[in-house]
Amino acid sequence: MTNDLVIQGLVKTFGRVHAIDDLSLTVKQGQLATLLGPSGCGKTTTLNCIAGLENPDEGLIRVGDFALTDTAKGRILPPEQRQLGMVFQSYALWPHMKVFDNVAFSLKLQKVRRDEIKKRVFEALDLVGLADMAERYPFQLSGGQQQRVALARAVVTRPRLLLLDEPLSNLDAKIRENSRVWLRNLQQQVGITTVYVTHDQSEAFAMSDMIAVMDQGRLLQYAPPEELYASPATQFVAEFIGATSFLKGAIHAINGSRLKVRVGSGDILALSDRSGRQWVENQNVVVGIRSERVEIARGQSENLLHAGVVVSTYLGAKWQHEVDTGSGRLKVETVDSVTSDRLSLYLPPDSILLFPE
């Protein structure tokens, strides 16, 4: 019996708002799954349901055989009996308590023996690299150090689940990037099943075993990062997780999973479709293009797209050009400036995604 986190048929409404709309997903024991999606899509509400801070209208939430919430059986376990560690966006530490006491607090509530508390608090502080700051008060720490104390506090009880809601949001960009590597290492070292919430896609890609993309309370796709990037299930997912531009087009020819599409400019693009969808010739489609893969053509004879430059912007390390293809606009990056107001672009087959119109 593994201790996977299993969520089935979760529904939560607030009046007329469907905050969570029939959400099901499984987080394998020891893995980190990220809930990713725009503001208001239901990430925090999902986390709160797992934590027992919010009661869903319907649904089952269990860890292995241990049911946390089962609305069909009227079971709603109170938060303190769920054995969870949590860090919220505002991870407030108790300002009047030293670091040691902040971390020791829930162990004291559990009436753990004093020498055992000391041992476990220092274990947790060691993990986050703050063992020498146990005697400080929160105001004597930097923001990043405070966040680490909050994490130590969350793992010290050896919870069966770790729930993290934008735990790095209060850090500046540089520290944030270091912290996510550090946090991911910590999670893997402790081997704790974790649900992580962010609306930052690069953070989601850097940290996750699995990513759940949500919109308006619905789960749109649940997949490992590489799969999500290579074959996004819908146009929304493609748009949300990467710099994708969309052009109107039509199916030109079909040869198994190898397709040719014609875009408005008249250019023909070949691609290999991984979506498993059925297509028919002349069907109208939306062609998604990964901007970061597009190149200025250098002698290629296929997969060329001709476009006029609308505006070029110098970004320091590179140039970004917005181009008009006649069937939609596209952003393209080059290292050098371009001199012509028309460009021949080369689109590698794996830079092209296809969606029904």
Ligand X SMILES: Nc1ncnc2c1ncn2[C@@H]1O[C@H](COP(=O)(O)OP(=O)(O)OP(=O)(O)O)[C@@H](O)[C@H]1O
Q: Which residues bind Mg ion (CB under 5 A)?
A: 44
Choice between 20 and 127, CB closer to Mg ion: 20
**Which stretches does DSSP call E strand in 64-189?**
66-70, 75-76, 84-87, 161-165
Residue range at the interface with ligand X (CB under 6 A); choices 11-19, 58-66, 111-119, 288-296: 11-19
The residues with which 163 forms a beta bridge, in sequence order, are 86, 195
Dihedral over alpha carbons 191, 223, 258, 287 (to 10 degrees)? -130
Task: Examine residue 199 and tell whether it contacts ligand X (CB under 6 A).
Answer: yes
The residues with which 261 forms a beta bridge, in sequence order, are 251, 269
Choice between 23 and 127, CB closer to ligand X: 23
258 alpha-carbon distance from chain centroid: 30
Contact code string over 290-319 relative to ligand X, x by CB under 6 A: ------------------------------
Q: Which residue is associated with the tokens 């460009």?
A: 343
CB of 39 to ligand X, least distance (A): 3
Task: Examine residue 42 and tell whether it contacts ligand X (CB under 6 A).
Answer: yes
Selected from 1, 2, 16, 39, the binder of ligand X by CB under 6 A is: 39
Choice between 70 and 215, CB closer to ligand X: 215
CB of 307 to ligand X, least distance (A): 35
Choice between 199 and 331, CB closer to ligand X: 199
CB of 44 to Mg ion, least distance (A): 3
Task: Examine residue 201 and tell whether it contacts ligand X (CB under 6 A).
Answer: no
Which residues fall within 8 angstroms of residue 174, CB to CB, at 6 or more apart?
none
Residue range at the interface with ligand X (CB under 6 A); choices 36-44, 79-87, 307-315, 324-332: 36-44
Tell me the site size for ligand X, rule CB under 6 A: 12
Which residues fall within 8 angstroms of residue 195, CB to CB, at 6 or more apart?
5, 27, 32, 33, 34, 35, 46, 47, 50, 161, 162, 163, 164
Task: Examine residue 41 and tell whether it contacts ligand X (CB under 6 A).
Answer: yes
Choice between 44 and 327, CB closer to Mg ion: 44
Establish how many alpha carbons lie within 13 A of residue 252's alpha carbon, considering only the half-sphere containing its beta carbon: 16
CB of 44 to ligand X, least distance (A): 3
Which residues fall within 8 angstroms of residue 277, CB to CB, at 6 or more apart?
354, 356
306 binds, among ligand X, Mg ion, none (CB under 5 to 8 A by kind): none
Selected from 4, 8, 29, 40, the binder of ligand X by CB under 6 A is: 40
Selected from 5, 10, 19, 307, the binder of ligand X by CB under 6 A is: 19
Task: Examine residue 43 and tell whether it contacts ligand X (CB under 6 A).
Answer: yes
Q: What H or E segment, with its residue span, contains residue 227?
A: helix 225-230
Of the candidates 1, 30, 27, 4, the one whose C-alpha atom is nearest the C-alpha of residue 193 is 30
Task: Examine residue 204 and tell whether it contacts ligand X (CB under 6 A).
Answer: no
| φ, ψ dihedrals at 272, nearest 5° | -115, 115
3-state secondary structure of 147: helix
Other beta carbons within 10 Å of 215: 17
| φ, ψ dihedrals at 101, nearest 5° | -70, -30
Which residues fall within 8 angstroms of residue 262, CB to CB, at 6 or more apart?
249, 250, 252, 268, 269
Choice between 163 and 259, CB closer to Mg ion: 163
Residue range at the interface with ligand X (CB under 6 A); choices 13-21, 143-151, 154-162, 236-244: 13-21
CB of 46 to ligand X, least distance (A): 7
199 binds, among Mg ion, ligand X, none (CB under 5 to 8 A by kind): ligand X
Task: Examine residue 94 and tell whether it contacts ligand X (CB under 6 A).
Answer: no
Task: Return residues touching ligand X (CB under 6 A).
Answer: 14, 17, 19, 37, 39-45, 199
